[in-house]
Amino acid sequence: MVPHLVTAQSGPLLDLEKKILEATPAIERWFRMSWQEHTPPFYCSVDLRNAGYKLAPVDTNLFPGSFNNLATEMLPLSVQAAMAAIDKYCPDARNLLLIPEMNHPNPDYLAHVSRLMQIFRQTGLHVRLGSLSPEITQPTPLALPDGNMLVVEPLVRSANGRRLGLADFDPCTILLNNDLSSGIPAILENIHEQSLLPPVHAGWALRRKSNHFDAYDEVAKKFGKLIDVDPWMVNPLHARCGEVDFEAANGLECLSDNVTMLLAKIKKKYKEYGMKEMKPFVIVKPDAGTHGRGIITIRDANELKDLSQKQRDKLAVMKNGVAVHDVIIQEGVPTVETVNGAVAEPVVYMIDRYVVGGFYRVHAERGIDQNLNAPGSKHVPLAFAQQHAVPDLKAKPGTAAPNRFYVYGVVARLALLAASLEMERTDPNPEVY
Amino acid sequence: MVPHLVTAQSGPLLDLEKKILEATPAIERWFRMSWQEHTPPFYCSVDLRNAGYKLAPVDTNLFPGSFNNLATEMLPLSVQAAMAAIDKYCPDARNLLLIPEMNHPNPDYLAHVSRLMQIFRQTGLHVRLGSLSPEITQPTPLALPDGNMLVVEPLVRSANGRRLGLADFDPCTILLNNDLSSGIPAILENIHEQSLLPPVHAGWALRRKSNHFDAYDEVAKKFGKLIDVDPWMVNPLHARCGEVDFEAANGLECLSDNVTMLLAKIKKKYKEYGMKEMKPFVIVKPDAGTHGRGIITIRDANELKDLSQKQRDKLAVMKNGVAVHDVIIQEGVPTVETVNGAVAEPVVYMIDRYVVGGFYRVHAERGIDQNLNAPGSKHVPLAFAQQHAVPDLKAKPGTAAPNRFYVYGVVARLALLAASLEMERTDPNPEVY
């Protein structure tokens, strides 16, 4: 029942993990109470880094991909959680419209879309695919690696303009799996009668990582108080700079100052915990972006002066050619985890408030201080069978799985809660009660 | 991914099953809408009989045992469903008090209690055991087969008499796993501040099987209309007799008349479906009882006249020596399922509205027309991995599991819905809105 990947981290539980395990009932109750007041995102994946001395989320994805990399045995967990989510938004739903990214579909992404469709079909919904791409003007078949076919169809607004659907397909729920990094298409605007999930302000056209980590600061602080640990144990320090222009080398002072400040803060923390041999580093990345583009590791602010033109170019533009102006600087959290000798980081998946699975992102050519979400990374499913939920502290040692991954699920849910606060606070049209 | 038990029923899908599979989205939507209006029992297990020509619940247990016989791989499904249930009743819960049957605890029942405790601990609750037995006057350890220990403690009413708990343990939720067939103990009366689940009128002191099957008649009728099948396909015909005294041979006329009437109705149905070779039979059982006591198979009302004294004695008294007066007569549904040559019937488990697993009850010494819930029965877990939820109709044949067991989950949930109607209608203190 213990996943073979437990070998990646089979030492004695770290202090943080022990504290989390011991506080399980308090933690679960706190989450239950929190979800009474805040609505979790429809779905979410969180990249974690386990440094041994700290365990922290480094990226919270509100348009999760790679559902096909979750262990298939655990699929029923996703289906059950999706049932709960559908119950909440649209109990009378017949149809779900999924809007994936279809600009450059690769077989792996198509397999992910197919898995998502399977999950929602298994909740008992009719599921069809709509495309934001103007090139899709009629139902277009796409072959899956396993021989099945997906069909993507053009989106259609209803005659009165109030609803979005496909020809002959009027969905109650519209699920975005497209991060809108190229902007919010007009066809998605002013949808009020249907549940558009996540909302458009979760897309990178509007979303900023720094807002997320501001909300996460708060969540981590409360959590630290709850279980009596330094919130830093679960929180990567961060700062942001707007108005950065890498090409023209404008705004680099802000960046340089913040890098220096952050490195000093981390050094202080290292000193506090007696980790004198550790060398701090920060990660610089676009405040509005994903897919591992434009991300660099910096150990000294001087490195910013010495960036080559190639590095500048890389930093200046992210996915879909959108220029980078807002930058987040995040405490670098090294990963102590390896799978078969390659550096690894856990990625945890959630639907509604439930942890439904996860995998290790593994990169054989990257170091422990580098971003792993980059070409060449592989996914190794975690058998979350015994781990997804909560450990069984009362069981005699050896009679229950060690539940190491429970802790991952807790920290991932801290990020989930932060995302719900973030979405509330950045909502351009907040509901007033 | 296909459970090995699929061999028990690996022929082509029966007509009913086909209809259910094809109507999946309509069925799931109907359940979602139904749960908007009715509250499912906290937990429930349903005994099904698959006759090939019909698939019907024959017993709906609101104090399910044998959770230890569910596949352990599927435990996370139970935990997730339990989380959803706790969310609903007691989001601010810290403690759950479980009241098991502790009169004659056998190792198998203790293993079941231990599994239930594990599930609720894994939702993040402190779980302790309280006993209704007056013999338990102090915390009493009980050894589990695996070497772990359970501790049962005496129940305590709070100083003001308003709450039920243990010494130093004030639960928000009190979960009964005791069917109250000996009556409702005073200590369980007038609990208004805590969630007592299921409510005391779910116990056999008050509950009647005939009320359940009256409610089931309605549910089956609606379901039949929804998917356009004869409700008889999912519904065993039934009748009831009160005031029966087997010892004194009083009230046997009512029984005889109803047996004759029911056998005639079944015969008519057999004729309607061209099953001339089939010989109808009925099952006579206590209207308020469980554990397979006092159950007989009757093929002709004349058999009732010829009951031996031994048979009368057997019928007259059920568990805990309670005399039988109310009797339910139920259409006998033969089972076409076998596991390793032994007669088998599926048992489906639910927590809140979710199917969380199941097993085959197998009895090597019983016939296809007999009650299998009897000494000598064995449990073979169903790997509900791909089956628990909803089939994937869009998958190319051979790329997804055949999902035969989805149909079992649907019919079990019909019984679950009937149980919620039954509980509403038989509530001695109904809430008025």
pLDDT for position A320: 63
pLDDT for position B433: 57
pLDDT for position B247: 75
Compare CB distances from B80 to A73, A389, A391 and report the shortest one's residue: A389
Q: In the predicted model, what is the mean pLDDT of chain A?
A: 86
Q: Do A25 and B83 touch (CB under 8 A)?
A: no
Q: Are residues A265 and A196 in the same domain?
A: no
Distance CA A45, CA A351 (A): 9
Indicate the pTM of the whole model. 0.90
pLDDT for position B390: 47
Going by pLDDT thresholds of 50, 70 and 90, the confidence category of residue A203 is very high
pLDDT for position A8: 41
pLDDT for position A318: 65
Asked if the structure places residue B157 within a domain, the reply is yes
Amino acid at B101: E
pLDDT for position B379: 81
Q: Are residues A328 and A234 in the same domain?
A: yes
pLDDT for position B39: 96
Q: Are B191 and B185 in contact (CB under 8 A)?
A: no
pLDDT for position B319: 60
Listed range (A106-110, A139-143, A225-229, B429-433) with the worst mean pLDDT = B429-433
Going by pLDDT thresholds of 50, 70 and 90, the confidence category of residue A10 is very low
**Bridge-based pairing state of the strands A43-50 and A342-351:** antiparallel
Q: Are residues A280 and A224 in the same domain?
A: yes
Residues A264-276: tens digit of each pLDDT: 999 999 999 988 8
Q: Do A28 and B123 touch (CB under 8 A)?
A: yes
Q: Do B390 and A87 touch (CB under 8 A)?
A: no
Q: Answer whether residue B397 shows pLDDT above 70.
A: no
Residues A148-162: tens digit of each pLDDT: 899 999 999 998 889
Q: How many CB atoms lie within 10 A of CB B206?
A: 17
Domain boundary among A176, A205, A234: A205
Residue B151 touches partner A, C-beta closer than 8 Å: no
Half-sphere exposure of B366 (CA within 13 A, CB side): 26
Domain boundary among B205, B221, B237: B205
Q: What percent of chain A has pLDDT over 90?
A: 57
Query: What average pLDDT score do residues B120-146 get?
Result: 93
Distance CA B44, CA B412 (A): 9
Q: Do B77 and A76 touch (CB under 8 A)?
A: yes
Task: Provide the domain limits for residue A188.
Answer: 73-205
Q: Are residues A300 and A315 in the same domain?
A: yes
Nearest CA in chain A to B147: A396
Q: Are B194 and B92 in contact (CB under 8 A)?
A: no
pLDDT for position A11: 43
Q: Answer whether residue B109 shows pLDDT above 90.
A: yes
Asked if the structure places residue A431 within a domain, the reply is no
pLDDT for position B132: 93
Domain boundary among A205, A227, A244: A205
Asked if the structure places residue B431 within a domain, the reply is no
Q: Do A148 and B399 touch (CB under 8 A)?
A: yes
Nearest CA in chain B to A95: B25
Using only C-alpha atoms, chain B has a radius of gyration, in whole angstroms, of 22
Q: Do A25 and B87 touch (CB under 8 A)?
A: no
Pick from B399, B396, B359: which is nearest to B380 by CA? B359
Q: Are residues B321 and B417 in the same domain?
A: yes
pLDDT for position A292: 61
* Residue numbers in B near A115 (CB within 8 A): none
pLDDT for position A201: 95
Q: Are residues B404 and B366 in the same domain?
A: yes
Q: Are residues B283 and B305 in the same domain?
A: yes
Q: Do B147 and A25 touch (CB under 8 A)?
A: no
CATH code, domain with A134: 3.40.50.11280
Q: Are residues A365 and A334 in the same domain?
A: yes
Q: Do B122 and A390 touch (CB under 8 A)?
A: yes
Q: Are residues A151 and A216 in the same domain?
A: no
- The Cα-based distances of B85 to A254, B90, B93, B200 in angstroms read 50, 8, 12, 18
Distance CA A425, CA A202 (A): 11
Residues A162-192: tens digit of each pLDDT: 999 999 999 999 999 999 988 899 999 989 8
Q: How far is A430 from chain B (nearest CA, A)?
A: 26
Asked if the structure places residue A229 within a domain, the reply is yes
Q: Are A351 and A175 in contact (CB under 8 A)?
A: no
Asked if the structure places residue A433 within a domain, the reply is no
Distance CA B334, CA B50 (A): 7
Q: Are residues A134 and A282 in the same domain?
A: no
Residues B170-222: tens digit of each pLDDT: 999 999 999 998 889 999 998 989 999 999 999 998 999 999 999 999 999 99
3-state secondary structure (DSSP) of residue A126: strand
Q: In the predicted model, what is the mean pLDDT of chain B?
A: 86
Residues A294-337: tens digit of each pLDDT: 788 899 998 888 877 777 777 777 666 667 788 999 999 998 87
Q: Do B386 and A76 touch (CB under 8 A)?
A: yes
Q: Are residues B238 and B338 in the same domain?
A: yes
Q: Answer whether residue A4 shows pLDDT above 60.
A: no
Q: Answer whether residue A227 shows pLDDT above 90.
A: yes
Residue B118 touches partner A, C-beta closer than 8 Å: yes
Query: What average pLDDT score do residues B48-58 get?
Result: 91
Going by pLDDT thresholds of 50, 70 and 90, the confidence category of residue A79 is very high
Distance CA A266, CA A275 (A): 11
Phi, psi of A239, rounded to the nearest 5 degrees: -150, 165
Task: Let me know how long chain A is.
Answer: 433
Compare CB distances from B73 to A31, A33, A73 and report the shortest one's residue: A73
Distance CA A372, CA A381 (A): 16
Please identify among residues 75-104 of chain A the ones whose CB lies closer than 8 Å to any CB of chain B. 75-77, 79-81, 83-84, 86-87, 91-94
Residues B24-35: tens digit of each pLDDT: 999 999 999 999
Query: What average pLDDT score do residues A413-419 get?
Result: 98
3-state secondary structure (DSSP) of residue A208: coil
pLDDT for position A391: 54
Q: How many CB atoms lie within 10 A of CB A381?
A: 18
Residue A198 touches partner B, C-beta closer than 8 Å: no
Using the 8-state DSSP alphabet, how is residue A168 labeled? T
Residue B367, both tokens: 């016939």
Q: Answer whether residue B427 shows pLDDT above 50.
A: yes
ipTM over 0.90: no
Compare CB distances from A81 to B27, B80, B86 and report the shortest one's residue: B80
* Residue numbers in A near B29 (CB within 8 A): 92-94, 124
Residue A394 touches partner B, C-beta closer than 8 Å: yes
Q: Answer whether residue A195 shows pLDDT above 90.
A: yes
Q: How far is B142 from chain A (nearest CA, A)?
A: 15
Pick from B278, B121, B228: which is nearest to A392 by CA? B121
Amino acid at A346: P
Please identify among residues 296-315 of chain A the ones whose CB lies closer than 8 Å to any CB of chain B. none
Distance CA B31, CA B222 (A): 11
Q: How far is B189 from chain A (nearest CA, A)?
A: 28
Asked if the structure places residue A186 within a domain, the reply is yes
Residue B384 touches partner A, C-beta closer than 8 Å: yes
pLDDT for position A119: 94
A&B contacts, CB < 8 Å: 147
Q: Answer whether residue A108 shows pLDDT above 80.
A: yes
* Residue numbers in B near A24 (CB within 8 A): 124
Q: Are residues B36 and B24 in the same domain?
A: yes
Q: How far is A70 from chain B (nearest CA, A)?
A: 14
Asked if the structure places residue B327 within a domain, the reply is yes
Residues A14-63: tens digit of each pLDDT: 678 888 888 999 999 999 999 999 999 999 999 999 888 899 999 999 99
pLDDT for position A68: 93
Q: Answer whether residue B401 shows pLDDT above 80.
A: no
Residue B116 touches partner A, C-beta closer than 8 Å: no
Query: What average pLDDT score do residues B76-98 get?
Result: 93
pLDDT for position B374: 79
Going by pLDDT thresholds of 50, 70 and 90, the confidence category of residue A394 is low
Query: What average pLDDT score do residues B264-269 get?
Result: 96
Asked if the structure places residue B235 within a domain, the reply is yes
Residue A157, both tokens: 């607004």
pLDDT for position B5: 35
pLDDT for position B388: 42
Q: Are B100 and B178 in contact (CB under 8 A)?
A: yes
pLDDT for position A162: 92
Structural domain total, chain B: 2
Using the 8-state DSSP alphabet, how is residue A89 labeled? H
Q: Which of B364 and B108 is assigned the larger pLDDT?
A: B108
Q: Answer whether residue A381 shows pLDDT above 90.
A: no
3-state secondary structure (DSSP) of residue A423: helix
Q: Answer whether residue A120 shows pLDDT above 90.
A: yes
* Residue numbers in A near B352 (CB within 8 A): none
Listed range (A236-245, A283-292, B278-287, B395-404) with the worst mean pLDDT = B395-404
Q: Which of A339 and A218 is assigned the larger pLDDT?
A: A218
Residue A383 touches partner B, C-beta closer than 8 Å: no
Rounded to whole angstroms, the maximal C-alpha distance in chain A is: 67
Residue B386 touches partner A, C-beta closer than 8 Å: yes
Query: What average pLDDT score do residues B253-262 get?
Result: 93
